[in-house]
Amino acid sequence: MLLKTLVAAFTLAGTAFAQRPADVSICDYYTSALFKNNTAENQLTHMTLLVNTVVIGNYTKPTIDGITWPDVTVPGILANGTIDGKNVSLLPFFNGERASTNRGGTAGVKVNFLDDGGAAPLLLNKPANGTSSKQYKLLTHLYSFFGALLGCGHQSTDPNAPFPVYAGNPSQHAVHKYMNLSAAEFTYFVTQVGLAARSFGVGEKDITAVGKALNDTFGVKCSANASVVKGQPAAEQAVCLGEGCPVADGGRHCPKGEGNASTASGTGSSSSKAGGAAATGTAAMAGETSDEPTIYALSTAPGRAAIAVVRISGPACVDIYHALCPGKPLPQPRHAALRTLYDPTAPSPPPQSAILDSALVLFFRGPYSVTGEDLLELHVHGGPAIVRAVLSSIPKCSPPSRSASKGGGGSGPHTTTSIRYAEPGEFTRRAYLNSRLSLPQVEALGDALTAATEQQRLLSVRGSASSRLAARYDEWRRALLLARGELEALIDFAEDQHFDESPAQLAASVAAQARALRAAMDAHARNAVRGELLRGGISVALLGEPNAGKSSLLNRVVGREAAIVSQERGTTRDVVETGVDLGGWFCRIGDTAGLRGAGVGAGGRKVADVGAVEMEGIRRAKERAIGADVVVCVFSVEEDPRTGLPGLSLSPEVVETARECMSRGGQVMAIVNKSDMLPLSGRAEEQRQHLTSIRAQLDLPPERIHFISCKEAAAPSSTSTSSPDPGNLQSFLSGLVTIFKEMTTPVVPELDGVVAPDMSIWQESLGATERQRLLLEECSAHLTEFLREVEEGEAEMDGELDIVLAAESLRAAATCLAKITGKGEAGDVEEVLGVVFEK
């Protein structure tokens, strides 16, 4: 059970695919990547940063040129936590609250290890104010001990050296046995180690290796003696000794009387070779073979171009470079160098005939690259033949087999790293798995690649340029987990712990938090719908009588002959749709068939009855209008057949369909085309009368009714050439854009009667995708179920809440949020990733 829990914890906490050579230790590799120079001083600084983060959680990281730190939340072992529903608090072991049974053989003596200012020195990346403090001794022991575990190659046996080797007690069991750590407490510690490593860019395989090694070495009760620090004798190492800790070999290595101390659920759940696992586990911490394939692809658009960029990512980057650029040193990371590329199969030295191209080469050392792995970029000339030659040469650069042993010629395991063309989205997938991008940022990257208008660009920027959206979801998830922990504490400790609040009061407090979270989530979900209008385009339907000018209007808007225009009525029989950028908003405008009754045309003229084809066109026109986001009712000025004077033609079919659209929540505006037919004298008065008539039928505000002339917009007359807006077409388009703005302005909820002050939070929520929206709605439904359970508990005679059901609703809600970000307590979210990265 413990091993399963730890593996799950590290799967969630880790990144992935650290491209570390098999013969380089974790400490040496990441110190080089982080500080450029792998010195004893830098190794000590590296271990100091790591250990201090494990202890107190996130704090100010050093500023290093070219380094962007992964956005990872680390609570630290001094913070309270929850493992498998069990509350964990390790702080009392450090502040003297719990009595030690391990001081000079005297039980019950309280010891405060965090003296001399408590945690304050940790904030300065210093072990303590003085070298004689218990804090100094504890933390410097930890720095040295983790340095040994992670294979820091510059540790010295000289105690006065910059980074001395660990010289403390060889038995961690002897040091920690007084704590009697449970499986949950031990797992919480190991989880913080994984999170801290992830926050410094350590890859998933390395994090998982460290987690397994810690479990094998220290997490199995009564395991065989093992040596975990080079040069020290084998000794008892088990630290997990309390409830839930597994027992090795049925307890045959246990001292007399200790074999049955573990719970039944933990007994026998570990490997029967725990001692051997410990030895190999610590070796795995120092170095593990990387067998991930190296991938490559053309990162710029295919076809003839001035420059083409070929990107290569993975453990074989350096080998590929040396195969393509024989005899030339690897460029300094993040610095461009001009190199000649050669066919890697050519003899050495390569002849002139083996030249592929001259290229600008850049190398990025993992994990501080866009993918989190070693990454090579080749900027070559963009001719198709050159690009083909370079791409076809890369898989020929097979790297030599590596030995996992230090000497490189031992009998350790070997690996041959494969080189293959990248699958769609694979570079981005690796960036996500290595914490270079959050899952919402990945989805926003898809928006950035497909953005065609200014508003679509801004939508993608809201997600890709900031991780605040993902941080917001994770903040909500942690709040739900905390609320769930508070409720479950009533189950575990109600009988033997003192609570300041009664169960009813605690439930009411948690319910208040749930209501506020639900309101915020509902606003995010509504804004996600508005964001989809920006992402997929706003659907606009032109609705009107035959020959009202719908096709002419479409052609004027898109600036080309997208629809056939004819004096013959009923020319448009189907929906003609085209996309256009209007003021930065992408919209899909559909020209539809004219609506009319049997035997009635524009202006009330008698025309032929509606045929079967035209009837189908009318049906499709109404269907398109009802499904549209915005409906533009195109009325027209027509000559009255009785008087011969121009007048407004208001089709009952158009009015009725527009009303139905409005009842369904659609946005409606109206235009009166052919306004040039109105006489100049008295035109303003006639327009006012027509406006009143339209408002009487459709109840539209005046700013949503426009008088235009497609004829004058296409070929301005002498009377309209002086106008800055011939035909009033730009006035109509400005009105349309105003509606677009209203439809895509984010919803800002009132939380506890107060409008949320930070508008940027809700602006960013426009970037939420359809997948995220569905999960937010599912989360909101679980919170509604939780609130229903609380209300039912309050209504019952005894006022008792079914805490188990209520906590389960909170767990389900938190799982939905974890699926959004792809990390945290979400269970298996792998099925989400495939869909996202293919985009």
What is the per-residue pLDDT for 452?
84
Q: Is the dihedral of CA 509, 510, 511, 512 positive or negative?
A: positive
* Residue pair 427/313 in contact by the 8 Å Cβ criterion: yes
Q: CB under 8 Å, gap of 24 or more: what pairs does 72-79 form?
A: 72/195, 72/198, 72/199, 72/435, 73/195, 73/474, 73/478, 74/192, 74/195, 74/196, 74/199, 75/192, 75/195, 76/192, 77/188, 77/189, 77/192, 78/119
**Tokens describing residue 100:** 């030690």
| CA gap 347, 732 in Å, rounded | 71
Q: Among residues 759, 755, 758, 772, which one has the least CA distance to residue 473?
A: 772
688 Rama class: left (phi>0) / alpha (psi -120 to 50) / beta = alpha
Cβ partners under 8 Å of residue 548, min gap 6? 594, 602, 634, 635, 636, 649, 673
Q: Which residues pair with 221 in a beta bridge?
A: 247
Count Cα atoms within 13 angstroms, Cβ side, for 427.
Answer: 19
| CA gap 489, 119 in Å, rounded | 27
Coil/strand/helix, residue 632: strand
Q: Among residues 764, 761, 19, which one has the least CA distance to residue 441?
A: 764
**Tokens describing residue 654:** 């158009």
* Residue pair 139/43 in contact by the 8 Å Cβ criterion: no
Q: Which residues pair with 267 in a beta bridge?
A: 247
What is the per-residue pLDDT for 495?
54
Q: Which residues pair with 543 in a beta bridge?
A: 633
Q: Please report, as a single letter, which amino acid is at residue 620.
A: R
The pLDDT averaged over each successive group of 10 residues in the chain (839 residues) is 36 41 81 84 89 81 74 87 85 64 42 42 43 64 85 84 82 78 90 90 84 87 80 82 79 49 32 31 42 90 93 94 93 93 92 94 88 94 95 86 39 58 92 81 79 83 64 82 72 53 73 88 88 87 87 80 49 72 88 73 56 83 90 86 77 90 91 84 82 88 88 63 74 91 82 55 77 91 90 65 80 87 52 47
What is the per-residue pLDDT for 199?
87
Q: Which CATH fold topology does 294-398+419-434 show? A: Gyrase A; domain 2 (3.30.1360)
Beta strands in 406-529 (DSSP E): 414-415, 419-421
Q: Is the dihedral of CA 365, 371, 376, 380 positive or negative?
A: negative
Q: Which CATH fold topology does 536-592+615-714+724-744 show? A: Rossmann fold (3.40.50)
| CA gap 711, 564 in Å, rounded | 15
What is the per-residue pLDDT for 632?
92
Which DSSP category does 264 fall into?
Answer: T
What is the per-residue pLDDT for 285?
45
Beta strands in 383-429 (DSSP E): 402-403, 414-415, 419-421
CA angle at 316 for the pair 313 and 319, rounded to the nearest 5°: 125
Helix, strand, coil percent values for the chain (each to nearest 5): 45, 15, 40
This model's pTM is above 0.85? no
**Distance in angstroms between the alpha carbons of the first and the last residue of the chain:** 38
Neighbours of 545 (CB within 10 A): 24
Cβ partners under 8 Å of residue 100, min gap 6? 107, 108, 109, 110, 111, 178
Looking at 465-502, list the stretches that DSSP marks H as alpha helix, in order from N- to C-terminal side.
468-493
Which DSSP category does 677 fall into?
Answer: G
| H or E element at residue 397 | none
Domain edges within the chain: 1-219, 294-398+419-434, 444-533+751-838, 536-592+615-714+724-744
**Tokens describing residue 550:** 């719908």
Query: Could you tell me which CATH class the domain 444-533+751-838 is placed in?
Result: mainly alpha
Instruction: Go through 583-599 and write b for each residue having 16 or more CB atoms within 10 A of its CB, e for each that does not.
Output: eebbbbbbbbbbbbeee
364 Rama class: left (phi>0) / alpha (psi -120 to 50) / beta = beta
Q: Is the dihedral of CA 749, 755, 758, 763 positive or negative?
A: positive
Helix and strand counts by DSSP (H, E) for the chain: 27, 21
What is the per-residue pLDDT for 97?
62
Cβ partners under 8 Å of residue 157, min gap 6? 164, 165, 231
Coil/strand/helix, residue 433: helix
Question: Could you give phi then psi for residue 293, rounded to 5 degrees?
Answer: -70, 150
Q: Among residues 777, 791, 756, 758, which one has the least CA distance to residue 819?
A: 777
Residues in the chain: 839
* Residue pair 376/363 in contact by the 8 Å Cβ criterion: yes
Cβ partners under 8 Å of residue 712, min gap 6? 676, 720, 726, 727
